[in-house]
Structure 1
Amino acid sequence: MIVDSHVVLASDRVIPREYLEEQAANMHHRLRAHGRDVGLGPVTDRLLALHSDHDGDRLVAEMDSAGVSLAFLVAADFSHVSPRALPPAELARLHDAVCRRHPGRFRVFWGVDPRAGADGPALFEQHVTDHGFAGMKLYPPAGYSPSDRRLYPYYEICAARGLPVLTHTGPGWAPLDFTLGPPLLVDQAARDFPGVDFILGHGGVTHVEEASYLCAHRPNVYLDVSQFPAMLAAEGWAEHLNRLFRGGISHKILFGTCWPSFRMSTSLPAVLSAFTPDTVFAGVRPSVQKMIMATTALRLVGDSVAAVTPGGHQ
């Protein structure tokens, strides 16, 4: 079984259009640097066309072709930093509709922002109750620390309901503040809420030493390896992941892709084809492979939400 612990709905209703335009500009710059005479317009048009999967049909088809049984669908709250961002209530309804359309394929990590005010925690809990969302998503580069005291009422809810917190680490969308991406910013919250499991999104790809250090010494801190196809490593991402998997924190690692971020350059089956005993998993025990690819992620969203299927309740 494969559980992808980090995917995003490829929709310009989920990712503000200006962020996609910035990404296209960065891609265009890279192509020109390598002598590819491609206009910015065609690059932007193609990227926007790939972000029209509003109902998740293409995402599920790709998961099927790659053998991914379940995915954690992360929904960041950009409503405080982008005028084009969908209001949180509409974003919640959109993700609930995707889950109802594809029952049993997703667990949603719902995005919050500490600037939502006094009503924010109650609204978060309402979405968890009404839609069966399985965890909380933070995007600190939008303008806050994951240890911001205004988030503590949310963490109290997560502690009471057994909900994990997935926090973005590393760089993000170009207009945002990358100084808020280091993993160590979650340390205070992890100490203050030992009953809450914190997952460092992209922690196996950026700030890896810092993220691994936290995972080794904080029982409630984990990392995922999402965005590994863009790993900035001379030896390549397969060798990097192999070394990470053979280290001492394999029980703290979740497989994740951040798909469909790489649709422009590869396919999901092609990415997963490297996860074999001869490449990414060389020297990694089968029991550890299972933990990384599924069982650790399932354990983190189990317990109090194990009986809830997103989009429908038992």
Structure 2
Amino acid sequence: MIVDAHVTLASDRATPRDFLEAQAANVASRLAAYGVRDRYGAVLDQLLAGYQDHEGDRLVAELDEAGIDQAVLVAADYSRASRHAVAPEELARLHRRVCSRHPGRFRVMWGVDPRAGTEGVALFERCVTEYGFAGMKLYPLTGYSPSDRRLYPYFEVCTARGLPVLTHTGPGWGPLDFTLGRPLLVDDAARDFPTVNFILGHGGVTHVDEASYLCAHRPNVHLDISQFPSMLSADGWAAHLNRLFHTGINHKILFGTCWPSFRLSASLTTVVDEFTGEAVLAGVKRRERQMIMSGNALRLFGAAPAAVTRGGPDGGRHRSPAPGADRVDRELERR
């Protein structure tokens, strides 16, 4: 079984245009250095065209083709960083519709911002209790520390409900403050809330020594390896990950891709095939491979949302609807 612990909805309602503009600028800058100039507009148009999957249909088809059984949808709150960002309430409804359309396939890590005050806490609780979202997502680069005291009421909710917290680490986009992406910034929160599991998003790719150090010494700190195809390593991401998988923290590592952020350069199927090849997992025990590919994610996120088996009548898979999915479908139809 494969659980992708870090994907995003390829929709410009979930990922604001600013993000895509910054990505296009990076691509165009690299092309220009190799003599291919004036490609920014073409790259941006291509990106924008690929971010119209508002219902998640293309995402599910790509997950199917790549052999990924379940995925965690990460929905960051960009409302204070982008003039193009949709309101949090609208973003929540969008992700609930995707989950209802594809029952049992996704969990959602809901993005919060400590500057939202008590209204933000109330919305987070509603997303958990009414929409069934599975945890909390932080994007500190928009202007706060993951240990900001204003986040503590949110962490109290996570403590009471047994929910994990995913916090972004590493660089981001546009005018954001990359210094707020250091893994150690989560240490105060991890110490003050020892029963809350914190996941360092991209922790196996950026600031790896710092993230690994935290995972080795804090029982409630974990990392994912999402965005690994863009790993800056002289001998490539496969060799880098193989070294990481021999550091003694495989019980803390979650497989994740950050799909579709690198769709312009590779297919999800190709990336998963290369990852599961022997070069990446050489010398890794079978039990620990299972932990990385799905076991750690299922342990942190709870019971699987659906029974998924190969070879069913619906194109190779059969899913049992998640509890309450039929009720949500009817409610959406009424609306």
Shorter-chain TM-score bucket reads over 0.9
Please give the alpha-carbon distance, in whole angstroms, between the structure 1 residues aligned to 2:326 and 2:220. 28
2:101 maps to: 101
Could you say what secondary structure the match of 2:200 adopts? strand
* Superposed structure 1 runs of 4+ greater than 4 Å apart: 303-308
What TM-score, normalized to structure 1?
A: 0.96
**C-alpha deviation, 1:138, in angstroms:** 0.2
Between 175-184 and 295-304, report the one with greater CA deviation. Answer: 295-304
Q: Is the 8 A contact 1:99 1:310 kept in 2?
A: no
Could you say what secondary structure the match of 2:4 adopts? strand
Could you say what secondary structure the match of 1:200 adopts? strand
2:31 maps to: 31
Letter in 2 for 1:201: G
Matches within 5 A, 1:19-168: 19-37=19-37, 39-168=39-168
1:237 maps to: 237
**C-alpha deviation, 1:38, in angstroms:** 5.1
Letter in 1 for 2:296: T
**C-alpha deviation, 1:19, in angstroms:** 1.8
Please give the alpha-carbon distance, in whole angstroms, between the structure 1 residues aligned to 2:9 and 2:184. 28
**C-alpha deviation, 1:82, in angstroms:** 1.4
Please give the alpha-carbon distance, in whole angstroms, between the structure 2 residues aligned to 1:102 and 1:306. 11
Letter in 2 for 1:64: D
Q: Closer, same or farther in 2 for the Cα pair 1:305/1:163, shift >3 Å?
A: farther
What percent identity do the matched residue pairs reach?
69
- Gapped runs of 5+ residues in structure 2? 308-320, 328-335
RMSD: 1.8
Q: Deviations over 1:169-200 (max 9, x none)?
A: 00012221101000000000000000100000
Please give the alpha-carbon distance, in whole angstroms, between the structure 2 residues aligned to 1:173 and 1:313. 39
Please give the alpha-carbon distance, in whole angstroms, between the structure 1 residues aligned to 2:160 and 2:91. 24
**C-alpha deviation, 1:306, in angstroms:** 9.5
Please give the alpha-carbon distance, in whole angstroms, between the structure 2 residues aligned to 1:241 and 1:22. 27
Please give the alpha-carbon distance, in whole angstroms, between the structure 1 residues aligned to 2:17 and 2:323. 27
Please give the alpha-carbon distance, in whole angstroms, between the structure 2 residues aligned to 1:184 and 1:306. 35
**C-alpha deviation, 1:208, in angstroms:** 0.1
Please give the alpha-carbon distance, in whole angstroms, between the structure 2 residues aligned to 1:149 and 1:310. 35
Please give the alpha-carbon distance, in whole angstroms, between the structure 2 residues aligned to 1:158 and 1:306. 23
Letter in 2 for 1:183: P
Q: Is the 8 A contact 1:7 1:72 kept in 2?
A: yes
Q: Is the 8 A contact 2:6 2:256 kept in 1?
A: yes
**C-alpha deviation, 1:39, in angstroms:** 2.2
Q: Is the 8 A contact 2:298 2:304 kept in 1?
A: no
**C-alpha deviation, 1:278, in angstroms:** 2.0
Which structure is higher in RCO with an 8 Å CA cutoff and minimum separation 6? 1
- Gapped runs of 5+ residues in structure 1? none
Could you say what secondary structure the match of 2:210 adopts? helix
**C-alpha deviation, 1:311, in angstroms:** 7.4
